[in-house]
Amino acid sequence: MANADPGDRVTLKDVARRAGVHPGTASRALNAETRELVNGETAERVLAAAEELGYRPNPIARGLKTSRSYTVGVLIPDLTNPLFPPIVRGIQDRLEEAAYTPLIVNTDNDPDRERADIEAMRARQVDGLITATARRDQGLPAGLERLSLPVVLVNRRLEDGARPSVVADDRKGIGLAVEHLLSLGHRRIAHLAGPQELSTGHLRHDGFIEAMRAAGIDPDPELVLVGTAFIESEGERLCNELLDRELEVTAIVAGNDLMAVGCYDVFVERGIDCPGEISVVGYNDMPFVGWFSPPLTTVHLPHYEIGARAAGLLLDQLRDPEIEPAQVLLEPELVVRGSTAAPLARDGQPA
Amino acid sequence: MANADPGDRVTLKDVARRAGVHPGTASRALNAETRELVNGETAERVLAAAEELGYRPNPIARGLKTSRSYTVGVLIPDLTNPLFPPIVRGIQDRLEEAAYTPLIVNTDNDPDRERADIEAMRARQVDGLITATARRDQGLPAGLERLSLPVVLVNRRLEDGARPSVVADDRKGIGLAVEHLLSLGHRRIAHLAGPQELSTGHLRHDGFIEAMRAAGIDPDPELVLVGTAFIESEGERLCNELLDRELEVTAIVAGNDLMAVGCYDVFVERGIDCPGEISVVGYNDMPFVGWFSPPLTTVHLPHYEIGARAAGLLLDQLRDPEIEPAQVLLEPELVVRGSTAAPLARDGQPA
DNA sequence: CTCGATCCTGCAAACGATTGCGAGGCCGAC
DNA sequence: GTCGGCCTCGCAATCGTTTGCAGGATCGAG
């Protein structure tokens, strides 16, 4: 454990010299897979020498020879979106265990940037890619289809399952929200959907319809509105539009938490009591939504685990390129807080 | 612009062969600084060949020789802390402009991990380091002092100013908060301070005392409590302790937003009206605190700019290692929301 | 005692780029 | 006509590892 001075780099040659062996031998002794090729005693001597000198293999040199960079590209839309930090953290932690380093870029959902980023990652010789950008118009981000680079998809899944992916079960998640509202007694439930080009927006929309039908309710088309982005202002716009229709509606399933917040805006503006007059449930369980007024009932996704699993799948693929691409589906969880309650009867009393 | 098939990597040798020159010559032609060493016509031929083949220099091989990686290490405590994503995003964006890539690691404020991370970054040949870990017990993260690696400090500053740094003016920020409360009529103001080992905790504590004195008020020592971490539960604990003392107190300056939230907990529990009976101001302006109940008055820090400036300083230093280490001080800004109001007079009416 | 097999280890060639050095060609000056 | 200088370029070493190959030592079997 006595690290020598880390002043200047200690190279494999130094270790070899100290152990009295050839660098080649030292290399074999240090790498677990080739260690069996060298005498146990010698190996120990090398390991000891490495330890004493505080030797760290130079991944650059190693990568040059093995044409592996021990580096993984991570494409996300925007780190600033509270959805992604836990995912990224999961990726980082899992990758770190395997001595891989993630290179993280923000695409801002711009296809051009996405292309450029992928090109840049390729130039940097990444060994694989994790992409959490969720447009579903094309199967894969442009420039990846013909690329024989291990890729794992987050929040998106290929129809043919040709690439490993990890997604949360949005259908089921929305189902949880709907069932919760139904069990409270709601029947006139609206859905403010996210953009349908995004797989998440699409799945949640479908999930909503499905869950309503499963309960024997034919969802009123007037009660489902589709937005152009998963943002607060869209939630606000849609909510206003919904209320302007002056239909009976006692609960709203928002496409995500931000859109739910947009509803809050409208309620404040119009003096509507939530959850007294209308209930809202969000999606994602972003940090701090429990502190909102009212605390937001929402669907929690295992973000960290999503990231960790994605990284795990990529590592699997790196170890064995022929491996069957796994499709991981993670379970969402309903978090009941203060934005949902039983609907009022006509007379203003709880039904 | 006609990229050949990107199927397999094209190397410098390929380019050289196509241009009918030696790889060494091709290398010189490709690099802007050495281009003058080769005949203009030849250079053009090489450039053309490179373009046609879609040549991308292999940064790994280049790095091996030049021991430059065009890579920068970024040390943060925890990406999951909402403070950091905007900072990181600022770093990423600024670095990207200069074709540098950040390697981001989470230290979890663990000195051992910090050491290991720095060691790992060194092994990866990072050209520089940005560290946003803010313990102030030692001057620099362990293992950096003697290292001749360009470093810029975020949220921390060396006494001797030997390294460039960018920090927000915490003294002034707290001053803003105090002045705001004073102007509302508060006199009995408490401070729930963060850990004093962190420079931010320390500076804000000092800033509080200073600002009070500047207003001619000698701060009651009973009204300033010091916590062990910048977290909600500490805010809660401290707030309880404060109220248990049964002193007159009409406002609280929390060490950060999370601690302010801890106060909210206590208020709910004890049935205290905020801001009616007591005002609270936070620090950092985390995302969504405007949605809390009541919306949190807090001090906003230019997080994105902090990151961007830090990256800028590092780039400066990489371009010219002899450059004077700049010390950047950024301005905080008070954001008044709903958690502060004029204190009540004894009779329950606004004073 | 000899011979082949088995281990272990050293040697040297890669990987893909950069770069000091020197060789050759060309030109102008004397 | 010769020589010096400059421009351009090729040669080869190098960065730190990995890895195929082969040689030397050791050992057991015949």
User: How sure is the predictor about B139, in pLDDT bands with cuts at 50, 70 and 90?
Assistant: low
How far does Cα B319 stand from its chain's mean position? Answer: 22
Residue A106, Cβ neighbours under 10 Å: how many? 23
Q: Which nucleotides of D are covered by protein (CB under 7 A)?
A: 7-20
A337 half-sphere exposure, CB direction, 13 A CA radius = 22
| Closest residue (Cα, C1') to C19 | B24
Mutation to test the B interface, candidates A124, A148, A273, most B Cβ within 10 Å? A124
Q: B113-142 as b/e, with b when 16 or more CB fall inside 10 Å?
A: bbbbbbebbbbbbbbbbbbbbbbbeeebbe
| Chain B residues near residue A80 by CB distance under 8 angstroms | 85-86, 89
- Residue A2: per-residue pLDDT: 34
Q: How far apart are CA B287 and CA A14, in angstroms?
A: 51
A295 half-sphere exposure, CB direction, 13 A CA radius = 9
- Residue A5: per-residue pLDDT: 37
Residue A283: both structure tokens together: 């999606």
Contact, B145 vs B139, CB < 8 A? Answer: yes
Give tens-digit pLDDT for A273-289: 999 999 999 999 998 89
Contacts of A80 (CB under 8 A, 6+ apart): B85, B86, B89
- Residue A6: per-residue pLDDT: 41
Q: How far apart are CA A86 and CA A91, in angstroms?
A: 9
CATH class of domain segment(s) B12-57:
mainly alpha
B254 half-sphere exposure, CB direction, 13 A CA radius = 34
Contact, B133 vs B153, CB < 8 A? Answer: no
- The top-scoring range by mean pLDDT among A329-338, B60-69, B99-108 is A329-338
Q: Which CATH number fits domain B68-168+303-330: 3.40.50.410, 3.30.1450.10, 3.40.50.2300, 3.40.630.10?
A: 3.40.50.2300
B21 half-sphere exposure, CB direction, 13 A CA radius = 24
Mode of pairing for the β-strands spanning B151-154 and B189-193:
unpaired
Give tens-digit pLDDT for A133-190: 866 655 566 566 666 789 999 988 887 888 899 999 999 999 999 999 999 999 999 9
Q: How far apart are CA A111 and CA A108, in angstroms?
A: 9
B 42-101, residues with C-beta < 7 Å of strand D: 42-43, 61, 64-65, 67
- Residue B146: per-residue pLDDT: 62
- Indicate the DSSP class of residue B36: G
- Residue B5: per-residue pLDDT: 36
B92 at interface of A, judged by CB pairs closer than 8 A: yes
| Alpha carbon of B312: minimum distance to chain A alpha carbons (Å) | 18
Q: Give the residue-averaged pLDDT of A59-86.
A: 91
B12 at interface of A, judged by CB pairs closer than 8 A: no
Q: Where are the domains of chain A?
A: 12-57, 66-168+303-331, 170-301
Give tens-digit pLDDT for B177-198: 999 999 999 999 999 999 998 8
Q: Please tell me if the domain spanning A66-168+303-331 has the same topology as the one spanning A170-301.
A: yes
Nearest to residue B310, comparing CAs of B331, B332, B324, B328? B328
Q: How far apart are CA B345 and CA B278, in angstroms?
A: 12
pLDDT exceeds 60 at position A3: no
Give tens-digit pLDDT for B283-318: 999 988 998 989 999 999 999 999 999 999 999 998
**Of the partner residues A101, A287, A291, the one whose CB lies closest to the CB of residue B124:** A101
- Indicate the DSSP class of residue B332: P
User: How sure is the predictor about A196, in pLDDT bands with cuts at 50, 70 and 90?
Assistant: very high
Return the CATH number of the domain spanning residue range A66-168+303-331.
3.40.50.2300
Q: Which CATH number fits domain A170-301: 3.40.640.10, 3.30.499.10, 3.40.50.2300, 3.40.190.10?
A: 3.40.50.2300
Q: How far apart are CA A68 and CA B12, in angstroms?
A: 18
Q: How far apart are CA B201 and CA A181, in angstroms?
A: 44
